């Protein structure tokens, strides 16, 4: 499976294609190339970047996601391949699943998310109550989130935001979180499409204009991975900027190992693909019994950081 996250950070770069390789020509006349088969996603975070039609076509033909960001590294959109792998049974299951199945699957996803957030706070040696939320018969996701962020944001000193902000965030912490989540969502989106799932059909969230509810539903347990990456980043580079975090997060993600079924350890991107396949199987079988949801306990993080 392709594993490279290619960041375009230099303004006025030109992206072309040549003999199976993506070619990036910079304004100073230098160029770099990388085989399309080795690229997982291209992340554009600079002004004046242009793509040739051939480069876009090759990206999409090789199932490469293009993530577009504005001048402040805020993600603004994604270019993804058409759903060329059609699995009618999965699609039919998506449009006909019952509320009981959706409720059970959503509960399993939220439980994994809160356990992963608890793992983050455990790493910070915080005396928290997130495990109590998980063990409750019916937990309040909103209260669990507020409890989590109240402890998490204390680790950023004067930069600590008061609340979690998604759209239009101005503070550097929320901006970096939003960037890191967007990269994970692009990788997840790619895998969901590959396994025949329609991202417009969510499990819990409903479709809205310019939204992919299934991506955002399934992203929930993965978000704490970005939270850990940011904590590691500010610990080693407390005064660095978001463009530095963009590079750091890519290396961090690529070094992560997640334990999947039967103790097998997979790289994060392969684990996300395993996750997407498991969700497709759950829809097809109308059962969550064997559904895999990524958990951070037992995972390895950032061992190859430089």
Domains of the chain, residue spans: 4-79, 88-285
Output DSSP code: residue 124.
Answer: T
* Reported pTM: 0.82
Q: What distance in Å separates the CA atoms of residue 16 and residue 236, rounded to the nearest whole number? A: 35
The stretch 211-238 carries a mean pLDDT of 93
Q: Say yes or no to pLDDT of 264 above 70.
A: yes
The fraction of the chain above a pLDDT of 70, given in percent, is 93
The model's pLDDT over 284-303, given as tens digits with 9 standing for 90+, comes to: 899 999 999 999 988 888 64
| CATH fold of 88-285 | 1.20.120
More confident position, 43 or 72 = 43
Q: Say yes or no to pLDDT of 89 above 80.
A: no
**Beta carbons of 252 and 305 less than 8 angstroms apart:** yes
Q: What is the pLDDT of residue 2?
A: 60
CATH says 4-79 is which class?
A: alpha beta
The model's pLDDT over 199-209, given as tens digits with 9 standing for 90+, comes to: 888 998 776 65
Alpha helix ranges (H) inside 124-171: 130-135, 141-152
């Amino acid at each position: 499976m392709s594993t490279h996250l290619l960041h375009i950070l230099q303004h006025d770069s030109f992206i072309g294609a040549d003999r199976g390789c993506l070619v990036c020509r910079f304004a100073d006349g230098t160029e770099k190339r990388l085989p399309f088969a080795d690229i997982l996603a291209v992340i554009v975070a600079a002004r004046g970047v242009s793509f040739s039609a051939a480069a876009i076509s090759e990206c999409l033909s090789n199932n490469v996601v293009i993530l577009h960001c504005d001048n402040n590294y805020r993600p603004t959109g994604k270019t993804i391949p058409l759903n060329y792998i059609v699995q009618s049974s999965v699609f039919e299951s998506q449009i006909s699943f019952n509320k009981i199945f959706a409720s059970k699957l959503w509960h399993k996803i939220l439980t994994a998310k809160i356990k992963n957030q608890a793992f983050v706070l455990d790493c910070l040696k915080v005396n928290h109550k997130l495990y109590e939320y998980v063990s409750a018969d019916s937990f309040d996701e909103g209260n669990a989130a507020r409890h989590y962020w109240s402890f998490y944001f204390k680790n950023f000193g004067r930069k600590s935001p008061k609340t979690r902000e998604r759209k239009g965030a101005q503070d550097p912490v929320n901006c970096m979180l939003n960037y890191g989540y967007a990269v994970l969502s692009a990788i997840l989106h790619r895998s969901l499409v590959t396994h025949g799932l329609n991202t417009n059909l969510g499990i819990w969230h409903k479709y809205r204009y310019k939204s992919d509810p299934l991506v955002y539903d399934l992203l929930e347990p993965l978000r704490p991975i970005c939270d850990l990456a940011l904590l590691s980043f500010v610990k080693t580079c407390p005064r660095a900027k978001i463009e530095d975090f963009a590079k750091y997060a890519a290396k961090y993600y690529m070094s992560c190992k997640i334990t999947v079924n039967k103790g097998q350890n997979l790289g994060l991107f392969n684990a996300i693909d395993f996750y997407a396949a498991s969700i497709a199987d759950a829809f097809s079988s109308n059962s969550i019994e064997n559904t895999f949801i990524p958990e951070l306990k037992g995972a390895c993080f950032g061992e190859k950081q430089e």
